[in-house]
């Protein structure tokens, strides 16, 4: 009986240790991943007047030389005023990718006008260059 009780206590302690060790590993991994996310500043070079809101990567590089890496890994777009992610606005986008940048055309919108958006890019961190 004592051996069985000792075994049970050892098993509970071991499982508790394994569970805590796993949680610590997950936390460290998430923190490391977050550190590797090196985002540029936000860019907002255009407004939705005319044909729409055009945050084109080529134009952004011309207006902000040296601020955007050669090969961005991700792009994010949010509304300029309330920072609502573009995906949640229910607007249609002509382009939203790391090659072109972000293009919202007024003609594609139900209400005839895009919101004003700003964009940023995730680039390799300095240690990854």
Which tens digits make up the pLDDT trace of 44-53? 999 999 999 9
Q: What is d(CA 58, CA 118) in angstroms, rounded to the nearest whole number?
A: 15
For the residues 9-15, what does the mean pLDDT come to? 48
Based on C-alpha coordinates, what's the Rg of the chain?
24
- Is residue 126 over pLDDT 90? no
Q: What percent of the chain has pLDDT over 90?
A: 67
Name the residue with higher pLDDT: 97 or 4: 97
Q: What percent of the chain has pLDDT over 70?
A: 70
On whether the pTM is more than 0.75, the answer is: no
Spatial CA neighbour of 54 closest among 98, 120, 122, 117 = 117
Name the residue with higher pLDDT: 113 or 36: 113
Q: What is d(CA 100, CA 94) in angstroms, rounded to the nearest whole number?
A: 10
Q: Cβ distance 46 to 55 under 8 Å?
A: yes
Identify the pLDDT of residue 37: 72
Q: Cβ distance 61 to 68 under 8 Å?
A: yes
- Residues contacting 85, CB < 8 A, separation 6+: 76, 77, 78
């Amino acid at each position: 009986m004592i051996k069985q009780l000792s075994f049970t206590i050892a098993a509970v302690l071991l499982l508790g240790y394994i569970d805590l060790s796993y949680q610590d590993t997950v936390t460290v991994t998430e923190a490391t991943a977050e550190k590797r996310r090196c985002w540029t500043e936000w860019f907002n070079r255009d407004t939705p007047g005319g044909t729409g809101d055009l945050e084109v990567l080529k134009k952004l590089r011309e207006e902000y030389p040296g601020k955007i890496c050669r090969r961005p890994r991700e792009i994010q777009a949010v509304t300029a005023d309330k920072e609502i992610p573009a995906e949640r606005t229910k607007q249609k986008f002509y382009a939203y990718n790391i090659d072109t940048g972000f293009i919202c055309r007024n003609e594609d919108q139900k209400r005839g006008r895009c919101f004003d958006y700003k964009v940023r890019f995730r680039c390799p961190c300095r240690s990854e260059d």
